[in-house]
Amino acid sequence: MGHNVADLERSIKFFEAIDFKVVEGPGDWTIDKELNKLANTPSAESRTVTMQVQSSVCDVPFTLILRQYRGVQRQDWSKLNSWDLLASHIDLTVDGSVGELLDKLEARNLLKMPEVQGLPNPRRQNGFRRFAFIQDPDGLTIKYFGKPIPKPGDPPPAPTVSNSKWRR
């Protein structure tokens, strides 16, 4: 998945905080003529970084390509929610409660949670926190779902379903 960002270094720090690893880049500023034709931005420069996080539902890592532009006016997508036209989001699953993830982001002053009408704020829930909606520095909504970890002696978990088409 590709994601345009305002500040590549800031975005790298955020995604590293949620366990993504840099696997390539960040690259130098370049003019990608083919990409610029598609976006109608003939003189725009961009640079990218490729990051991955291990999937908890299949053996194929989730890959995220962050791209920062200069020389073009950026759109502010941060006011959209994931149901608005042209908005985007990522769904990720973590082993265990999402509370640990929220605590880690809060400790680094990176926790930003959008208002989601009708859903409880997971910071106010007791016990196992099943899900959370967070936002990256550019307003991309990330939906985290917690997958309970079986206790020793419990029956094995049921098979998981993944919408990933890629297998090694």
pLDDT tens by residue, 113-160: 877 766 666 666 665 567 788 889 988 888 888 877 778 887 776 665
Distance, in Å, from the CA atom of 86 to the CA atom of 21, rounded to the nearest integer, reads 27
- The residue ranking higher by pLDDT, 72 or 25, is 25
Mean residue pLDDT across the chain? 81
Q: Sign (positive/negative) of CA torsion 120, 117, 135, 84?
A: positive
pTM of the model: 0.79
pLDDT tens by residue, 77-88: 666 666 666 667
Instruction: Name the helix (H) or strand (E) containing 107.
Output: helix 99-107
